[in-house]
Structure 1
Amino acid sequence: MKHYLVTGGSGFIGAALVQRLVRDGHRVRVLDDNSRGHTGRLSGVLDDVEFVQGDIRDAAAVRGAVRGVDGVLHLAAVNGTRHFYEKPEVVLDVGVRGMLNVLDACRADGVGDLVVASSSEAYQTPPQVPTPEDVPLVVPDVLNPRYSYGGSKLISELLAVNWGRSGFDRVAIFRPHNVYGPDMGWEHVIPEFSRRAVGAITGHPAGPVPFPIQGDGRQTRAFVHIDDAVDGIVTVIDRGEHLGIYHIGNPEEVSIADLARRTVACLGREAQVIPGPAAPGGTDRRSPDISRLTALGYAPRIPLSAGLPGVVEWYAERARADAARIGQAAE
């Protein structure tokens, strides 16, 4: 058993990883400022972890958190498409300064095992689908704030790989692809679709439910349930090679229009999908080639048909509760 630091450990993926590591018997320290996470995600294991409240951009805080651990699992980042457009400077600051602080702290304290979370956003529009790990990483337009997150992950990969060439026993990188599950925040497509579905159903108690979307709906994504994603991350932690890069996901593709229809169907209704203008900087198709990770023993277990209904209902319950509170406040 090892002693790990998980940065961003109260975030959506980070907290799920912490839960798993504790269940597997590891000692875990968490560094997070709870700006987007919360310790409620660590319910059931919070007494078993050492929680350090701190900003990943604070070099002293990172140095203190790294001291004495066997390995660092670096997940701290500002995710969520809305944030990419609204505060790109924060996205970049957290991503790049945070990565440098982690690398400095690991070297200063002789921590030789580092696993870094990147993202499929690092390669944006892939030249082939399913997409392997060795495609070019690109920022198509530096003037588009949409690419602040992908740019920060591209830089983080460059830093991790090149600093990792010396002074580390193992540096590995994983790129999650469209992870979904309960309590991931509202700034992602499945939570957003769930909330919009509740509102549309409320406004249209009979017949097909009008459901506007961005773009023509033919764009595809491949979603991976949080439980499968954590299995993949743990596979990288346990078996990933030095300077290895691994896609984590489920290659099952779904169009955005079909996702909208499935989301509404989870709530017992039929959607009338209404195409709209596409968001600038979007990608038409994305699905990971996970053969490099499956070679290490990973296999996703939860198809979208099995994982989506419970997740949609989780968000729908909270959307209904929010609407009820707003209605009561207006009375």
Structure 2
Amino acid sequence: MTARRQKIFLVTGGSGLLGSRLVRKLLEDGHRVRVLDTRIGELRDIRTHPKLEFLGVGTGHRSGGMVDKATVYRATRNVNVIYHLAINWNGYTWRHSLPLPELFDANIRGTHNLLESARSRKIDHFLVSSSAAVYGETQRTLSSRDRSLLKGVVDEESACRPYLWDGDPGPGYAVLKLAIENLCLMYHHTYSLPVTVFRIEYVFTNMEQFKDGANVHVDDVVRAFSIATLNRRSYGQVFNLAYPVPYMSIRKISRMLGWKPESTLNFLRSRRHNAIKQF
């Protein structure tokens, strides 16, 4: 009997905050991981791991990485699952500006390359990192004067108005994220590619980021991706990922996949405990 081939997981944008945490979790679980990114970033300390492979490092964000068809086709060879976390976005110089030609060319073309490869190679599951910014204004971004404009709680069925997003890094980012979502979901409905979309609130790892308004711990987001992977209940679905605050519902993912923001809750309990001790 031939040995069963080990699953290979592709993580686009694997060198960033969320991507690097997901890569480390997959490696801890014994999986083979391929990272498609233009830099090594936060994976530098494990770049020689025997089960970790990099593609696209050192190429330009406008023509390399996921934007290059040949690189994408090579990256998806023998892959079972794709985690699409990459976004070619210079958040420092493009903050609250609208360089739409550059934004849409690199990111829509890159996402399309990945989807086409996933379709032709019959990838088992395509999971996408989107953003809560697609909803536009939320209670957190509205000023006190304007909060009356917000109607009820934002859930996955709420209307998306990304052009109203006034948080970082600006409305162009929110518009782009919704476009990527819709492109991926079109491939699910048109070609039966198993796709799952996560609309993620600001992610944090430490107190400083939490104080700056971040909402959900990165480990909770990684766990959501893990729970959803190859879970048929998640196919074709969009899920909010956030700490359960008044303006955003996480009932859907809790009900369907049993996910709860446990790391966020533990972080808050620890913070409260330390505050009491100091008092």
Q: TM-score range by the shorter chain?
A: 0.7 to 0.9
After the TM superposition, which of the residue ranges 3-12 and 238-247 deviates more from structure 2? Answer: 238-247
Mapping of residues 156-235 of structure 1, within 5 Å: 156-181=180-205, 190=209, 223-235=215-227
Larger Rg: 1
Instruction: Give yes or no for contact 2:55–2:65 (8 Å, CA) kept in 1.
Output: no
CA distance 1:64–1:177, change in 2 (3 Å): same
Give the counterpart of 2:268 among 300, 305, 309: 305
Give the counterpart of 1:100 among 104, 109, 112: 112
Mapping of residues 64-213 of structure 1, within 5 Å: 64-78=74-88, 82=92, 83-86=94-97, 88-89=99-100, 90-126=102-138, 127-128=150-151, 130-140=153-163, 146-181=170-205, 190=209
Superposed CA offset, 1:225-245 (max 9, x none): 111121122122243522111
Where structure 2 has 5 or more consecutive residues not aligned to the other structure, the ranges are: 1-5, 57-63, 139-149, 273-279
What is aligned with 2:72?
62
CA distance 1:308–1:98, change in 2 (3 Å): farther
For residue 73 of structure 1, report the CA deviation from its aligned partner.
1.0
- Is the counterpart of residue 48 in structure 1 residue 55 in structure 2? no
Instruction: Give yes or no for contact 1:77–1:95 (8 Å, CA) kept in 2.
Output: yes
What is aligned with 2:141?
none
For residue 223 of structure 1, report the CA deviation from its aligned partner.
0.5
For residue 52 of structure 1, report the CA deviation from its aligned partner.
1.1
Give TM-score scaled by structure 1 length: 0.64
For residue 167 of structure 1, report the CA deviation from its aligned partner.
2.9
Instruction: Give yes or no for contact 1:10–1:42 (8 Å, CA) kept in 2.
Output: no
> Runs (4+) of structure 1 moved beyond 6 Å?
none
For residue 169 of structure 1, report the CA deviation from its aligned partner.
4.3
CA distance 1:61–1:160, change in 2 (3 Å): same
Instruction: Give yes or no for contact 1:225–1:307 (8 Å, CA) kept in 2.
Output: no
Instruction: Give yes or no for contact 2:200–2:241 (8 Å, CA) kept in 1.
Output: yes
For residue 70 of structure 2, give the secondary structure of its aligned residue in structure 1.
helix
Give TM-score scaled by structure 2 length: 0.74
What is aligned with 1:314?
none
**% identical aligned pairs:** 28
For residue 40 of structure 1, report the CA deviation from its aligned partner.
3.4
> Letter of the aligned partner of 1:300 in structure 2?
P
CA distance 1:222–1:191, change in 2 (3 Å): closer
CA distance 1:39–1:170, change in 2 (3 Å): same
For residue 92 of structure 1, report the CA deviation from its aligned partner.
3.1
Instruction: Give yes or no for contact 2:137–2:164 (8 Å, CA) kept in 1.
Output: no
Superposed CA offset, 1:146-188 (max 9, x none): 2111111111111111121133341111111111126xxxxxx
Cα distance in 2, alignment partners of residues 75 and 46 from structure 1:
21
